[in-house]
Structure 1
Amino acid sequence: MKRVLLCGLAFVAFSAQAKTPAADMVFRNAYVYTVDAKNSVAQALAVKDGRVVYVGDEAGAKVFTGRKTQVIDLKGRMVMPGLIDGHMHPQSGGLRMLSCNLNYESLTIAEFQARIQKCVDEDKTSGPNDWLEVINWFEQGAKPAGTVLTRAALDGVKTTRPIKVHSSFGHSNLTNTRGLQLAGITRETPDPKDGVIVRDTAGEPTGLLQDAAQDLVDRLVPPPSVEKNYQATQLALKAMREQGITTFLDAYTDIETMTAYRTVSKEGRLTARAHFAVLIDSPADYDADKAIAEVLKEKAEFEQTPVGARPIMKVDTAKLFLDGVYSAPAFSAVMVEPYFENGRPGHNYGPKPYFSQAQLDDTLIKLAAAGLNPHMHADGDGSVRMGLNAVEAMRKVHPADDIRPAIAHDEIVDPADYKRYAEVGALPVLSFQWERPSIDIMQSMPALGPVRSALMEPAGLLEIYGARIVYGSDWPVDALDEWLALQIAVTRQAIGEDAVKYPDRLGIDPGLTVAQAVRAITLNAAYSLRQDKETGSLEAGKFADLIVLDRNLFQIKPEEIGGTQVLLTMVGGKIVYEAEDLK
Structure 2
Amino acid sequence: MLKADKIWTDGHFLTLWPEAPEVTAMAEKDGRIIAVGPDSEIETLKGPGTKHIRMHGRFAMPGLIESHTHALWGACRELFEVYVGYTATLDTLLHAAGARTADVESGRWITGGPWRSEMREGMGRRPRDLLDRIAPAHPVALADVTQHSLWCNSRALDLAGISTSDRFGGGVERGDDGHPTGILHEAACAPVRQMTTRTPEELSRAVSHFTRYFASLGYTGFKEPMATEADLAAYASADAAGKLPIHMAAHIACFAPLGPEPLGLDELTQLKRQYATENLRTGFAKLFLDGVAPSFTASFLAPYVGPDYDAAGHDPNATLLIEPEALNCWVTQLDAAGFVLKMHAVGDNAVRKGLDAVEAARLANGPSGPRHELSHSAFIDEEDLPRFAQLNAVAEVSPKLWMPNAATPAQLAVLGQERMERCHPIRDLLRAGAEVIFGTDWPAAAPDANPWTGLAGMITRRDSTGRFPGTVGPDQAITLEDALPLFTVNAARALGMEGETGQLRPGAWADFIVPGMDIRKGAPDQIAACTVQETVWKGQTIHTT
TM-score (normalizing by structure 2)? 0.93
1:340 equivalenced with 2:340 (yes/no) = no
Counterpart for residue 300 of structure 1 = 273
Question: Is the CA contact (8 Å cut-off) linking 1:299 and 1:315 kept in structure 2?
Answer: yes
1:182 equivalenced with 2:159 (yes/no) = yes
Question: Is the CA contact (8 Å cut-off) linking 2:226 and 2:250 kept in structure 1?
Answer: yes
Query: Match of 2:457, as an amino acid?
Result: I
Counterpart for residue 394 of structure 1 = 361
Question: Is the CA contact (8 Å cut-off) linking 2:90 and 2:115 kept in structure 1?
Answer: no
**Alignment partners' CA distance in 2, 1:173 and 1:287:** 19
- Equivalent residue runs for 1:378-393 within 5 Å: 378-393=345-360
Between Structure 1 and Structure 2, the one with more helix by share is 2
Question: Is the CA contact (8 Å cut-off) linking 1:454 and 1:507 kept in structure 2?
Answer: yes
- Where 1:170 maps in the other structure, the secondary structure is coil
- Where 1:340 maps in the other structure, the secondary structure is coil
- Where 2:520 maps in the other structure, the secondary structure is coil
Question: Is the CA contact (8 Å cut-off) linking 1:34 and 1:41 kept in structure 2?
Answer: yes
Residues 152, 509 of structure 1: alpha-carbon distance in 2 compared, 3 angstrom cutoff: farther
Question: Is the CA contact (8 Å cut-off) linking 1:433 and 1:488 kept in structure 2?
Answer: no
Residues 115, 146 of structure 1: alpha-carbon distance in 2 compared, 3 angstrom cutoff: closer
Question: Is the CA contact (8 Å cut-off) linking 2:401 and 2:423 kept in structure 1?
Answer: no
Query: Match of 1:228, as an amino acid?
Result: E
Residues 467, 138 of structure 1: alpha-carbon distance in 2 compared, 3 angstrom cutoff: farther
1:473 equivalenced with 2:440 (yes/no) = yes
- C-alpha RMSD of matched pairs (Å): 2.5
1:536 equivalenced with 2:502 (yes/no) = yes
Deviation for aligned residue 1:122: 3.1
Question: Is the CA contact (8 Å cut-off) linking 1:419 and 1:465 kept in structure 2?
Answer: yes
**Alignment partners' CA distance in 2, 1:202 and 1:490:** 50
Residues 171, 433 of structure 1: alpha-carbon distance in 2 compared, 3 angstrom cutoff: closer
**Alignment partners' CA distance in 2, 1:34 and 1:345:** 51
1:240 equivalenced with 2:214 (yes/no) = yes
Structure 1: which 5+ runs fail to align?
Answer: 1-19, 307-311
For 1:423-467, what per-residue CA distance to the aligned partner results, in whole angstroms no more than 9, with x for missing partners? Answer: 111101111343112342133224223432221121222112111
Deviation for aligned residue 1:143: 9.4
For 1:231-271, what per-residue CA distance to the aligned partner results, in whole angstroms no more than 9, with x for missing partners? Answer: 11111211111112111111111111221222211211210
Counterpart for residue 197 of structure 1 = 172
1:421 equivalenced with 2:388 (yes/no) = yes
Question: Is the CA contact (8 Å cut-off) linking 2:464 and 2:525 kept in structure 1?
Answer: no
- Where 1:88 maps in the other structure, the secondary structure is coil
Question: Is the CA contact (8 Å cut-off) linking 1:106 and 1:142 kept in structure 2?
Answer: no
Residues 196, 539 of structure 1: alpha-carbon distance in 2 compared, 3 angstrom cutoff: same
Deviation for aligned residue 1:158: 4.4
Structure 2: which 5+ runs fail to align?
Answer: none
- Where 1:63 maps in the other structure, the secondary structure is helix
Q: 2:109 aligns with which of 128, 131, 143?
A: 131
Deviation for aligned residue 1:529: 2.1
Moved more, 567-576 or 335-344: 335-344
Question: Is the CA contact (8 Å cut-off) linking 2:86 and 2:115 kept in structure 1?
Answer: yes
Deviation for aligned residue 1:377: 0.4
- Equivalent residue runs for 1:247-258 within 5 Å: 247-258=221-232
Query: Match of 2:140, as an amino acid?
Result: I
**Alignment partners' CA distance in 2, 1:371 and 1:180:** 40
Residues 190, 177 of structure 1: alpha-carbon distance in 2 compared, 3 angstrom cutoff: same
Q: 1:70 aligns with which of 34, 51, 64?
A: 51
Query: Match of 1:206, as an amino acid?
Result: T
Residues 369, 553 of structure 1: alpha-carbon distance in 2 compared, 3 angstrom cutoff: same
**Alignment partners' CA distance in 2, 1:114 and 1:412:** 37
Q: 1:207 aligns with which of 175, 182, 189?
A: 182
Q: 1:220 aligns with which of 182, 195, 206?
A: 195
1:280 equivalenced with 2:247 (yes/no) = no
**Alignment partners' CA distance in 1, 2:429 and 2:123:** 32
Query: Match of 1:212, as an amino acid?
Result: A
1:166 equivalenced with 2:143 (yes/no) = yes
Residues 389, 245 of structure 1: alpha-carbon distance in 2 compared, 3 angstrom cutoff: same
1:314 equivalenced with 2:287 (yes/no) = no
- Where 1:219 maps in the other structure, the secondary structure is helix
- Equivalent residue runs for 1:520-559 within 5 Å: 520-559=486-525
Query: Match of 2:507, as an amino acid?
Result: G
**Alignment partners' CA distance in 1, 2:65 and 2:103:** 38
Deviation for aligned residue 1:538: 0.8
Question: Is the CA contact (8 Å cut-off) linking 2:336 and 2:369 kept in structure 1?
Answer: no
Residues 140, 512 of structure 1: alpha-carbon distance in 2 compared, 3 angstrom cutoff: farther
Query: Match of 2:275, as an amino acid?
Result: F
Query: Match of 1:170, as an amino acid?
Result: Q
Counterpart for residue 578 of structure 1 = 544
Counterpart for residue 359 of structure 1 = 326
Residues 191, 107 of structure 1: alpha-carbon distance in 2 compared, 3 angstrom cutoff: farther
Query: Match of 1:375, as an amino acid?
Result: K
Deviation for aligned residue 1:518: 1.5
**Alignment partners' CA distance in 1, 2:118 and 2:193:** 24
- Where 1:280 maps in the other structure, the secondary structure is strand
Deviation for aligned residue 1:147: 9.1
**Alignment partners' CA distance in 2, 1:466 and 1:145:** 46
Query: Match of 2:452, as an amino acid?
Result: W
Query: Match of 2:535, as an amino acid?
Result: T
**Alignment partners' CA distance in 1, 2:103 and 2:332:** 52
Deviation for aligned residue 1:108: 2.8
Q: 2:398 aligns with which of 431, 438, 442?
A: 431
Deviation for aligned residue 1:362: 1.1
Query: Match of 1:114, as an amino acid?
Result: H
For 1:252-307, what per-residue CA distance to the aligned partner results, in whole angstroms no more than 9, with x for missing partners? Answer: 11111221222211211210012111111279xx999x611111010111112x4x
Query: Match of 2:454, as an amino acid?
Result: A
Query: Match of 1:130, as an amino acid?
Result: R
Residues 184, 171 of structure 1: alpha-carbon distance in 2 compared, 3 angstrom cutoff: same
Deviation for aligned residue 1:66: 2.5
Question: Is the CA contact (8 Å cut-off) linking 1:108 and 1:144 kept in structure 2?
Answer: no
Deviation for aligned residue 1:39: 7.9
**Alignment partners' CA distance in 2, 1:427 and 1:103:** 34
Deviation for aligned residue 1:138: 3.8
**Alignment partners' CA distance in 2, 1:476 and 1:432:** 12
Counterpart for residue 479 of structure 2 = 513
**Alignment partners' CA distance in 2, 1:320 and 1:148:** 34
Question: Is the CA contact (8 Å cut-off) linking 1:106 and 1:141 kept in structure 2?
Answer: no
**Alignment partners' CA distance in 1, 2:183 and 2:344:** 22
Deviation for aligned residue 1:71: 1.9
**Alignment partners' CA distance in 2, 1:332 and 1:439:** 19
1:325 equivalenced with 2:292 (yes/no) = yes
**Alignment partners' CA distance in 2, 1:282 and 1:481:** 26
Moved more, 452-461 or 97-106: 97-106
**Alignment partners' CA distance in 2, 1:47 and 1:220:** 47
**Alignment partners' CA distance in 2, 1:30 and 1:254:** 42
Query: Match of 1:463, as an amino acid?
Result: L
Deviation for aligned residue 1:176: 0.7
Deviation for aligned residue 1:321: 0.4
